[in-house]
Structure 1
Amino acid sequence: MAEEDGTRSEQPGYYDRLQVSTEAIDGVRVVTPAGEIDHHNVQPLSDALQSPQGRAIRTVVDLRRVTFMDSTGINTLLAAYQSHRASGGSLHIAAPSSVVIRLLSMVGIDQVIPCHDTLDSALGA
């Protein structure tokens, strides 16, 4: 439960604010997290971004429904990007919100991982 001053509380359920879905679109795995990505709830995203060992796959991370991301989310995206590249695959980011793209730009992730304004653009890359 949030305190009156708006600070976060450690009550159960508060950090369960991330849902992750995965689907295939035209042979591309699309991972769509929704909610907040932070060190308390990043594991479902990390699990969804695992690249099958030795298999080159294309993955797009659709960030349009992400409302917050901390450094844990950034590190998770970087690790997934490196893993995909090592296996000959690729990882792209699609449709980050203005808050998320600002964070990605501030730390230079948008210069490492290809970022696209829309899901369609990422799928076509």
Structure 2
Amino acid sequence: MLAVFFRIEKVTIRSSSSQSKIIGALTSIFGVLVIIFYKGPKLFSLSSSAIHQRPLGFMSSQSNWIIGGPLLAVTFVLVSLGYIIQSQVMKIYPEEITVNFFYKLFGTGISLPLCLLAEPNLSSWN
């Protein structure tokens, strides 16, 4: 949808490629809405003792879908914008390896301080 908005992609209703992209986008949006508005029982339920037995530090006993859903949506929008910007940079400077290197370098430079703020205990990074 962002590619259409920025006029990188053109939508032709009669084209099978455009039809499949529209169906894929609608399916994705429908899937997100099902996940957000699902009011049934928990699908993935672990007891508190099972959580402590597993070595995965990122497994949480609490889930906050109200914050997680919009943050996940913002993540996907920002990644899409990053790809759009990267494609525009590639038109100006077509060296793929150099552009990819700086993309990853700046991503590391942004995430490293945030990771250290989120987990200041350096022994937990082992």
TM class by shorter chain equals under 0.3
In our comparison, the structure showing a higher alpha carbon Rg is: 2
TM-score normalised by length of structure 1 = 0.21
TM norm structure 2 = 0.21
